[in-house]
Structure formats: C-alpha cells, structure tokens
Amino acid sequence: KLSMRLERVAIHIPKGSILADIGSDHAYLPCYAVTNGLCDSAIAGEVVEGPYQSARKQVAMTGLGDKIEVRKGDGLEVLNPDEATCITIAGMGGTLISSILESGKAKLGKADRLILQPNVGAANVRSWLIENGWELCGEEILEEDGKIYEILIAKKGDPLRPYGVNKQTGLTFGPFLREQFSDIFIKKWQLEKKHLERIIEQLDESGRSGLETKRNELKSQISVIEEVLKG
Ligand code: SAM
C-alpha cells in the first residue's frame, strides 16, 4: 500500500499527464499513478544504482514495463526537453529539489504542473517557484509516522498571486497552509517555536559573549511564528 504522503502527491497529477517522477526510488509513485489511471505513462528517474534497480524491479513486478520507463541519471537530465507534462519530486530536502529544478530548467518546456514534497526547507522551493514563473496553486500538510510533510503544487502563471502583501511570511509558512490553518500546521509551528526557544536557552547556558545578534534573530523568528499562530 502506498504511503499517505505519496498518495496525496499523486492526487494532484492532472489526468492524462505524462509523468516524470524524479528521485523515484522504488517507483511506487509512478506505479500507483499509472495503475489508478492518474496518468497515461511515466518516467521514473533515479541517480543512484541501488534505488534505480529497485525501481526497475518494481515496474517489472507490476507488469507496467510498457507504460513506465525507468531511467538512470541526475535530476531532469533523464528527460527529453518536451517530454513530461507533470513532474513530481518527493521525499528530499527543499534545497535539493530547488537545485534539481534549477539545473533542469531546459527540460520543463512542456511541463504545466509541478508537485513537490520537500521534507524540510519548503521556503526554498517556494522561492524557486516565484523566481521561475511558477504559481503555487495548492498546498497540503500532513502527518505520517510522526513526521510532518508539506506538498506544494504549482502551475505556470502569476507567481506572486497567492502571496498578497507579506511575501516573506508566505514563503516561510506557505500562503495556502496559513489560510487553511489546520491542526497539523499549528502543531508544526508550535514544535518549531519550541525548537527555537531551546536554541536560545542553549545559547544563554553557553555563557559565551557576542551572541546577541543570533539571539535577536531567533527571538524575531519566534515572534513571527507567534503572530501567525494567532490565526
Ligand atoms: N521519491 C520517493 C519518495 O518520496 O518516497 C523516494 C525518496 S528518497 C528519500 C530520495 C531519492 O532521490 C533517493 O532514491 C535518491 O537516490 C534520489 N535522488 C537524490 N538526488 C537525486 C538526483 N539529483 N537525481 C535523481 N535522483 C536523486
């Protein structure tokens, strides 16, 4: 059975897409998407030999070899320039996701949907989208096995549309997630606030001098979180 995390990624694949799942590991996502008619065909990209072989095995085992091609290579380099219409990148840090998109820009010609699931550093991904003409059109946050995940969905459009006046807050918290203000969103930011408070305590206990700037920075991050948590 597919994880809830990947199921929620898959739900946003537009019908009839040609999907490219980059960093596919076992190719669970493309197998699920094709089996359930969410897309017509898919490419699973993997850069590491072990996961690449797992992906090949999984595709063969599910008998989807004529619909899913497993390709070995770095990021979007496995794609032809006008091939995929929907790209999923899940289960990595936001910085890595952004750098994969940045180095693979030339392969995004035909893509009209990106579904990105950063484990950490979602703000990085939001910045990349803004700088590259992609409009965030939805966001999800969910908890599974004690971890909290964010999913960012983007289409070509007006990248600033979802942000309103306070772009910086939107980048950090996610304009849709902030609007939804779900229990998991609240939990995530309460945890983050506690984490920052703990860092301040450790700074204070260290008794070192010259930490005022760092301390103030953390304090101001905490007060932004408190402001957002007021709803
Ligand atoms: N996408 C799957 C998921 O969400 O469950 C697998 C996530 S797994 C933690 C990350 C995978 O991305 C690993 O298999 C890793 O080898 C692959 N990966 C990391 N950097 C990559 C890159 N630049 N190009 C292709 N694959 C990459």
Q: Where are the alpha helices (DSSP H) in the chain?
A: 4-10, 28-35, 49-61, 94-103, 122-131, 167-173, 175-180, 183-206, 212-229
Q: Where are the domains of the chain?
A: 4-162, 184-229
| CATH homologous superfamily, domain 4-162 | Vaccinia Virus protein VP39 (3.40.50.150)
Burial 37-54 (b: 16+ CB within 10 A, else e): ebbebbbbbbeeeebbeb
> What residue has token string 């990595």?
92
| Residue 182, helix vs strand vs coil | coil
Model pLDDT for residues 49-77, shown as the tens digit of each residue: 999 999 999 999 999 999 999 999 999 99
- β-strand partners of 147: 144
pLDDT at 1: 87
Q: How far is CA 102 from CA 23, 79, 80, 89, in A?
A: 15, 14, 16, 13
Distance 23 CA to ligand 1 centre (A): 3
Distance 104 CA to ligand 1 centre (A): 15
Say whether pTM exceeds 0.90: yes
C-alpha 25 to ligand 1 mean position (Å): 6
According to DSSP, residue 165 is labeled: S
| Segment 151-168, tens digit of pLDDT | 999 999 999 999 988 899
Residue nearest to atom 19 of ligand 1 (CA): 23
Report the atom number in ligand 1 closest to the C-alpha of 91.
4
Q: In the structure encoding, which two tokens stand for residue 189, read together?
A: 């930011």
Protein residues with CB under 6 Å of any ligand 1 atom: 6, 22-25, 45-48, 51, 74-75, 90-92, 96, 100
Q: With a cut of 70, list the residues of the chain below it in pLDDT.
A: none
